[in-house]
Structures are given as structure tokens and as C-alpha cells.
Amino acid sequence: MTDPKFMTPPHRRAYLTHLNRCKVMDNYPEYARQLDDVVIDDARN
């Protein structure tokens, strides 16, 4: 699976939306960790 950090912001949003639709109930800890990483990454930039 592609790491959101290497995507442009619109792609990251689409990626997280896809995760939310398809995987959040199966992989919630992973989803939450990736969402936190994106928020932290956006705050740095």
C-alpha cells in the first residue's frame, strides 16, 4: 500500500477517504496512525 506521505495533499485526502470507506472497521488502529501521520506531516509543511 502506498504511503500517504509520498502523495500530494489531494491524493492523500482521496487515499484516506478510500481507507475510511473500505478498511476503517478492519484496520482502525492502522488508519488512525496514518491519519495522525498526515496531520503531523501537513503541520510541518
Domain that holds residue 9: 4-44
Q: Compute the C-alpha angle 42/17/37, nearest 5°.
A: 30
pLDDT of residue 18: 76
Report which residue type is found at 36: D
Nearest to 41 by CA among 1, 10, 2, 6: 6
Q: How far, in Å, CA of 20 to CA of 3, rounded?
A: 15
Who wins on pLDDT, 17 or 34? 17
User: Is the CB of residue 38 less than 8 Å from the CB of residue 16?
Assistant: yes
2-29 per-position pLDDT tens digit: 555 666 777 778 887 877 776 555 656 6
Into how many domains does the chain fold? 1
pTM: 0.30
User: Is the CB of residue 31 less than 8 Å from the CB of residue 24?
Assistant: yes
